[in-house]
Copies of this chain bind each other. A is one copy, B any other.
């Protein structure tokens, strides 16, 4: 069965863009099912997401579309990306299993529209979970040289043609080489309401500050720890009866939820990053 095509566009705003794009689609036999457009206003940057039925030339391959679209993209100075079908997502995980379960269950329920060729971990603990859901599990321990292990990880990602990476509480800091090789393609979940409570033990920090709400943040991993563009955030109230352990327990619920929401949005090409912020279409 042929699949719908998704098109993401970002460019300086000017009159005529929508007409040019919709004209391109119509003249190639396509039909727009969903379209969202948004302009930043004063700075006049334009963002658009389109979903196109697999008819006309949109029933055929992506490369051809990219060639055909190039003149329009050049005229309007566009960043653009056509895509189709499931993305291939790798999961990096350490010992905590709550985000991993959530990813595997949401995939099973077809809420998370990806293939998961591989789960990679620096610990052997979660192999049984991977096994139960029928996913290959690669145990790559960190034995002294962290860089050597990271290279193994990257090799594995490449050999599996991975499109993007889900850091399901991986607990390791990636090198700048890694994050820049997968720019805007690594999604991390931080167990704090960024930009508050960066770094280690955010729930302890939150407890010490006496906040009444705790949160979690899904964001693109960049070389600045816990500083990449935020995709999704969630919160939950805490009260004086809650201990740090209760914060951690409540936090698990929020972490897994914002994490999979962010993964779903990325998987369906709903996110555009621009100047350190994200546009996340519905």
Contact = CB atoms under 8 A, between A and B. Distances in A.
Interface in A1-22: 13-19, 22
Contacts of A30: 15
A210 interface: yes
A144 interface: no
A34 to B, nearest CB: 7
Interface string A173-207: 00000000000000000000111100000000000
Contact of A211 (B13, B33, B233, B257): B233
A72 to B, nearest CB: 13
A274 to B, nearest CB: 9
A109 to B, nearest CB: 6
Given A16-B26, A235-B213, A240 B38 contact: yes
A33 B23 contact: no
A128 B132 CA distance: 8
Contacts of A243: 41
A29 B19 CA distance: 12
B282 A239 contact: yes
Interface in A193-248: 193-196, 209-213, 215, 229-235, 239-241, 243
Interface in A264-278: 276-278
Residue of A13, A55, A240 with highest tally of chain B CB at under 10 A: A240
Interface majority SS (helix, strand, loop, mixed), chain A: mixed
Contacts of A211: 194-195, 230, 233
Contacts of A16: 26, 31
B18 A18 contact: yes
Given A36-B36, A213-B215, A239-B280, 8 more contacts: A15-B30, A15-B31, A34-B37, A194-B209, A195-B209, A195-B211, A213-B234, A213-B235
The 4 closest A-B pairs by CB, nearest first: A210-B277, A196-B196, A15-B31, A19-B22
21 contacts: A15-B26, A15-B30, A15-B55, A18-B26, A19-B19, A19-B22, A34-B38, A38-B240, A101-B105, A193-B196, A193-B213, A194-B209, A194-B211, A196-B196, A210-B229, A210-B277, A211-B230, A212-B233, A239-B282, A240-B279, A240-B280
Interface of A: 13-19, 22-23, 25-26, 29-39, 41, 47, 53, 55, 97-98, 101, 105, 109, 111, 128, 132, 193-196, 209-213, 215, 229-235, 239-241, 243, 249, 252-253, 257, 276-280, 282
